[in-house]
Chain A
């Protein structure tokens, strides 16, 4: 029965998205409601509403990070920052590209999420990438790729933390494995995606294509919102006794509001309206995913997926890992880590557990590229003004590297662990 319910939910989702052309969030909600009905739960209002708040915190993060980015751009800080970066490092394009990759990854390393990477640092460098000659699709793929690896990179990898919580394992010793899983693959992906356009970063005409800077008028004051944001993020982590943790969304709001007085004049309502309009499809998607997961669990379809994966023959288990963990990650990377990652870790206890948890977190995070949600892609689309599907097609390299890297880390978990001094 659970298998049929799952099939029906997937069929209803495909019907909604492809035939009826509904927004993915609405299609997810309707397919979940259909799944509950067919499984004999009627129209379970409580579960539909409870599932809708599963991603409340990420929703707040998306809305407020867009608000911050809107104010940062309107104040003139974004253009000034881009011009400064290109002026300083334009003569060394390969170094600049590597630094741009790490720059986009940075918020993900602190928050364990792709959204802040794409919507803040990713949005900041988008004009540079497009100016250097990357197509909008490849610029979006570059940003989505760096954001994906930023989500995996240490110190904060929420997917790995969720696996640890599920097996009562301290989140200790993950620094090197996650660095290994994220940084080399991120750099390789970036250079592959940028291709010949790396040289475009050294083109003297690039700087002329960027929006005009207001640095001369406002000076370093322009960067105060960014400094406040970094100060709040780092301060709350480094000095928790002195700086209270107010949550990343509120940090974005506070830093964004500072942008009202540090640069060009900005109308708050214009930016707030823009942020909400941009965020609405993403919010709808996250609400839909939450409801879908709740009904998958309620009907037992989640258990069906987990048990069918775990009971694959040993030879197929690694293939299952390579396909099913990212595919379930397409619904939710965190859901995949917690639901599939925990039992898989327990089934693979003959491998080093830290390496396996790090690898599964990488595989699950690949889901941020994959349908139905394609979160990293969907988020990148408005940043580079491109169709999500074109960005997805340009993101093949990071998807493949993520999957191959994750499986290799599991296959060679024990020797890698010895190499990193984890045994």
Chain B
């Protein structure tokens, strides 16, 4: 099978090889330069009522000096009350979740209780994009003093932080089997473990935060493709179902339609299942419809994130293939962020109604209609 003396390449072959290597090196260098901004965090300008900036490594020192060590914005009211954690960027390719958390941190004021906001829950996932998906690296939002640029990352932790993937990911502690790359999916890694892989350690740190800070309510903000069955939905752990149901009634009264979904008991690793099981917190996840994540989408660019308009999704909607209403108006980012903000308000109000002793009093959050009228950019700090 293996010849003893391989034939040495001739001059032309060597020259061709050298040219090929040079061209490949040049392409890689140009691409590296284009990809470099993914390493830089976009600034977040928290509102004046923010008390402190914490880091996830404050809750698990094993993440110090790693790309998992993300910022947590803490808002403390003058009166004692309950505690709430809002997570965006658990999946960094879901811009509405991330942007809602940023917008919340930049506008929130807390009169009673405490609110922890993590805009980039999987910080590592923001530092790369997923090969094969052709996602834009960022998108720009106009504000009153110019545009602000936000990254569109990857659903998974950067392989530079966790690699190689096993062929089969065995979730701890349930033993559930998922495809290998899911081992880098933060929302399949809860409750996490201190001696686990990079993503499991991050999940462990979030769980430790929830336990140490005695968090009452966790809201994890997500997006999904319009053909996905759980969409425009509130997914709640069984202990959080009363709060979620009451909130859903409020949202329906405001004309904002959400499906209310129970957290599946046999699907493990997700925030709404594992945080609800492992901690006393009420765990809720919200989904909006993002075309950029779908397999039916046409041309991929930042415009698709912003206006949510796509001819192929329109064709799919006409063929009855989608799980959300879809027409020529698209599903713009303003609508998706507005829905998340409305959900946060309604769920907090429901918690206050059901557990008044652990109430959290918030202000400064723009309403759904305000976001539709003025756009997300109007509520982002122009700094």
B321:A297 contact, CB within 8 angstroms: no
A293:B132 contact, CB within 8 angstroms: yes
A73, A237, A249, A335: the one within 8 Å of B2 (CB): A73
Question: Is residue A51 within 8 Å, beta carbon to beta carbon, of the partner chain?
Answer: yes
- Stretch from B174-182, B236-244, B274-282 that touches the partner: B174-182
Given A45-B31, A297-B133, A170 contacting B267 (CB threshold 8 A): yes
B3, B131, B300, B321: the one within 8 Å of A50 (CB): B131
The residue in chain B whose Cβ has the minimal distance to the Cβ of A155 is: B168
A339:B295 contact, CB within 8 angstroms: yes
Min Cβ gap A363→B in Å is 16
B298:A300 contact, CB within 8 angstroms: yes
A45, A158, A307: the one within 8 Å of B316 (CB): A307
> How far is B132's CA from A172's CA once the two chains are assembled, in angstroms?
27
> How far is B131's CA from A111's CA once the two chains are assembled, in angstroms?
21
A167:B297 contact, CB within 8 angstroms: no
B178:A310 contact, CB within 8 angstroms: no
B319:A310 contact, CB within 8 angstroms: yes
A61-77 at interface with B (beta carbon < 8 Å): 70, 73-74
Residue tally, chain B, CB below 8 Å to A: 50
A306:B295 contact, CB within 8 angstroms: yes
Question: Is residue B35 within 8 Å, beta carbon to beta carbon, of the partner chain?
Answer: yes
A300:B1 contact, CB within 8 angstroms: no
Question: Is residue B296 within 8 Å, beta carbon to beta carbon, of the partner chain?
Answer: yes
Question: Is residue A193 within 8 Å, beta carbon to beta carbon, of the partner chain?
Answer: no
The proximity string for A residues 129-163 relative to B, scoring 1 for CB distances below 8 Å and 0 otherwise, is: 00000000000000000000000000110100110
A156:B27 contact, CB within 8 angstroms: no
B299:A299 contact, CB within 8 angstroms: yes
The proximity string for A residues 44-63 relative to B, scoring 1 for CB distances below 8 Å and 0 otherwise, is: 01111111011001000000
B178:A300 contact, CB within 8 angstroms: no
Chain B contacts for A39, CB-based, 8 A: 299
- Stretch from B55-63, B104-112, B223-231 that touches the partner: B223-231
Min Cβ gap A347→B in Å is 7
Min Cβ gap B324→A in Å is 13
Given A49-B31, A307-B312, A311-B316, A290 contacting B300 (CB threshold 8 A): no
Question: Is residue B28 within 8 Å, beta carbon to beta carbon, of the partner chain?
Answer: yes
> How far is B316's CA from A76's CA once the two chains are assembled, in angstroms?
58
Question: Is residue A388 within 8 Å, beta carbon to beta carbon, of the partner chain?
Answer: no
Given A300-B297, A343-B295, A346-B227, A335 contacting B132 (CB threshold 8 A): yes
B163, B179, B315: the one within 8 Å of A165 (CB): B179
B168:A290 contact, CB within 8 angstroms: no
Min Cβ gap B323→A in Å is 9
Question: Is residue A91 within 8 Å, beta carbon to beta carbon, of the partner chain?
Answer: no
B179:A170 contact, CB within 8 angstroms: no
Q: Which residues of A contact B (CB under 8 A)?
A: 1-2, 39, 45-51, 53-54, 57, 70, 73-74, 110-112, 123, 155-156, 158, 161-162, 164-168, 170-172, 236-237, 240, 245-250, 270-271, 273-274, 277, 290, 293-295, 297-300, 302-304, 306-307, 310-311, 335, 338-340, 342-343, 346-347
Q: Which residues of B contact A (CB under 8 A)?
A: 1-4, 6, 27-28, 30-31, 34-35, 129, 131-134, 137, 163-168, 170, 176-182, 227-230, 266-268, 295-300, 310, 312, 315-316, 319, 321
Given contacts A73-B1, A294-B132, 18 further A-B contacts (CB under 8 A): A2-B298, A39-B299, A45-B34, A48-B27, A50-B129, A57-B164, A161-B178, A170-B176, A172-B176, A245-B164, A249-B164, A274-B2, A295-B134, A297-B133, A306-B296, A307-B319, A310-B321, A311-B319
